[in-house]
Amino acid sequence: MSDTPQTLSIPLADRITPLQLPDMPTEGVVNNALTEGAVQALEAGKTKYTNRPGIVPLREWIAEHLTGKFEFPYVPNDITVTCGGTEARFVTVKYFCAAGTHLICPGNATAIAGAAQLAGVEIHADVVDESKVSAVYLTPDDENLDGLLEQVKANQWNIIYEPYNHSPTHHPAQDEALRPLTVSLGDLEPRAPGWRVGWMAGHAEHAKLRSYKQSMTICTPSVSQWAALAMLEAQS
Amino acid sequence: MTTLNPNIPEAIRKVASDGTALRYALMEMATGPDVIALGRGDPDLPTPAHIIEAAKKAVRDGRTAPTPVAGMPQLRTAIAEKLRTENGLPVNAENVIVTTGGQEALYLIMQVLLNPGDEVLVPDPRYTSYDQAIAAAGGSMVMVPTDHEDAFNLVPEAVEAAITPNSKALLIVTPSNPTGGIVTRQRLKQIAEIAKRHNLIVISDEIYEKFVFDGHEHFSIGSLPGMAERTITLNGFSKTYAMTGLRVGYVAAPKNFIDGMTKVKAFTTGPAATVSQHASLAAATGPTEPLQEFIRIYEERRQAMKDGLNAMGLNYSDPRGAFFFWTNSEPTGIHATELSYLLLKEGNVLIFPGTGFGEQWGGYLRISILQDTEKIREAVARMQTVIEKYRVGA
């Protein structure tokens, strides 16, 4: 079969040409709870669509976990389960950041770089032009954020916060003024590679983020969600 | 025909012009234990046992590590083999990408194919998720009319008439969601010539290919001479094997297109879940008897639905394929959006209005057969009661 006569979309081709496929783990993890959760889900016939936001008990677990960790309230309706952290990152960048705008990443931007590249968004470590900023990407490793967070408040920029799995001690949404602007991402791939479970939590426009996710994949794989729930419950 | 009744709830009225939002709003209302759901295209039948067992074995054996972004090599090979032997497509594994369901396949296709301003020709009525995928890529839709009396077959002359200088692609959905129509081999041959003449890419959504009834056939346009290099074929395991929640679809296309999709997929969702891919491999390579049994069951249900609609005096388009009856509700005198709400509120039957598939289809209902035969009969009886109560002019 020869190539398509009208090949790739030109703007997109410009964006994806520099992208390298990420290195994927070649080993799974052995986790009895994960295994049994998946097997039980399969035996129970949980092979149909789930609710768009994800199964309720998993969203309950995530909401309780975040509430306990950061000491401000999340409810299950604040949570949307995604196909890994990858989908959560792409949905938030795509929804918040128009092509040509700036995503401010004061620290490590590795995780979000591919999504930004695809969306045609420029990553900057510092604010160089306030008028072009569409969102800020923060991680627990970032330091000396006071000045930036004041700019966020003044300009009502959106915050994409990714607390990695090493017990962050702060969360931008602990500041009530920043809470409606902040979406928090989760990614279980490091603990359960290959199962493709992550999440988005919070933000005033969470329903629209959820709708965008639905337009991409409808829902996250059912068996993966039940397996993830079993693993999380066993670990907590 | 009455207009939309202002007494229906705000949750319905405010989303009435957005087909996808309207369908979800109705589903969110349909939560009672007595509701008979004939809305969503989610097969109720159990996923075949050999698929479940294969997935369990993969999990127990620890074969859950992430796969390459484009999919597990043995699954891509099995899909290519299926497409060669069953559909006549000249493809190899490198021409296949495994996606997180058909919806993602559609999203990725549009992302990679369209430039802002490009137009996609779409048969009307349509599954409105196409709207989102096309809009997200900056494209726009141009509707191609289809007709009840023609069983919603695609008309080559109508396709050609809709072409503009901005036309990039033609979407073909056969069998069709929502109409149950199929595009016949003869029409596809004519449409292929049009595509070649106007340098159009054809996106062929064949997700319901296994469910074709009453002697009709499914035919893949990509198998026609000169079409392989301009056809993007979309399919998946969800509908065929009643495993929608495992989220596995696939696309077959020229390698350069698949490579582009793979790069985009790497940073949008990553590879499909590994356990889901093992289940799909079993579906692709396992016995065909479970599928034959599905077809037998659906035929029985179709007959029950036909009997019920005939008894109510409701006319439906010849349902040649898929799970749906595209039913003309104009004789009730009630706008379809309102009628769907009444059927849910008073009859506990969830049926999507035609407006969920294009705003102008207020005289149609899409009724699925994804409940057992007795429930279908019960649903039809409830429909009759509600319709007789509210029929305009009764």
pLDDT of residue B243: 98
Six-digit token string for B317: 């388009």
Q: Residue B3 has what pLDDT?
A: 53
The first and second tokens of residue A95, run together, are: 């929804």
The residues of chain A scoring below 70 in pLDDT are 6-7, 165-169
Q: Is the pLDDT of residue B41 over 90?
A: no
The verdict on a CB contact (< 8 Å) between A218 and B270 is: no
| B4 has a pLDDT exceeding 80 | no
Mean pLDDT, range B244-249, rounded to an integer: 98
CA A195 – CA A59 distance, rounded (Å): 17
Closest listed residue to residue B298, CA positions, set B381, B180, B213, B183: B213
CB–CB of B95 and A117 under 8 A? no
Best mutation target among A49, A52, A82, A214 (most B Cβ atoms within 10 Å) is: A49
Q: Is A18 on the interface with B (CB under 8 A)?
A: no
Query: Measured between alpha carbons, how far is residue B173 from residues A11, A139, B93, B181, B309 in Å?
Result: 27, 44, 23, 9, 25
List pLDDT tens digits, range B334-380.
999 999 999 999 999 999 999 999 989 999 999 999 999 999 999 99
What's residue B15's pLDDT? 76
pTM of the complete model: 0.95
Nearest to B221 by CA among B182, B164, B270, B249: B182
* pLDDT value of position A128: 96
For B99, nearest residue in chain A (alpha carbons): A217
Secondary structure class of A91 (helix, strand, coil): helix
CA distance B69 to A2: 22
What was the pLDDT predicted at B91?
A: 98
Q: What's the CA gap between B92 and A189, in Å, rounded?
A: 30
Contact check, Cβ <8 Å, B245/A35:
no
Q: What is the pLDDT of residue B343?
A: 94
How high does pLDDT run on average in chain B? 94
Which DSSP helix (H) or strand (E) runs through B97? Answer: strand B96-99
B20 within 8 A of B178, measured Cβ to Cβ: no
For residue A189, the chain B residue with the least C-alpha distance is B66
* Beta strands B249-252; B231-236: pairing state: antiparallel
Query: Cα(B32)–Cα(A173) distance, rounded to whole angstroms?
Result: 36
Radius of gyration from C-alpha coordinates of chain B: 21
* Mean pLDDT, range B248-259, rounded to an integer: 96
B269–A12 C-beta distance less than 8 A: no
Strand partners, A183: A160
**Radius of gyration for chain A, computed over Cα atoms and rounded to the nearest angstrom:** 18
Torsion angle in degrees (nearest 10) through CA of B51, B85, B244, B369: -110
Residues 6+ apart with CB under 8 A from B288: none
Distance from CA of B379 to the nearest CA of A (A): 22
Is the pLDDT at B7 greater than 70? The verdict is no
* Residues 6 or more apart in contact with residue A222 via CB below 8 angstroms: A41, A46, A47, A48, A49, A50, A55, B245, B246, B247
A9 and B137: CB-CB below 8 Å? yes
| Digit-coded pLDDT (tens) for A158-171 | 999 998 766 666 78
Report chain A residues whose CB lies below 8 A from the CB of B113: 8-9
Q: What is the pLDDT of residue A143?
A: 83
By CA distance, what is A19's nearest residue in B?
B263
The minimal CB distance from B64 to the residues A12, A42, A195 is found for A195
Nearest CA in chain B to A198: B269
3-state secondary structure of B219: coil
* Residue positions counted in chain B: 394
Contacts of residue B331, Cβ cutoff 8 Å, sequence gap at least 6: B313, B314, B315
Per-residue confidence (pLDDT) for residue A167, from 0 to 100: 64
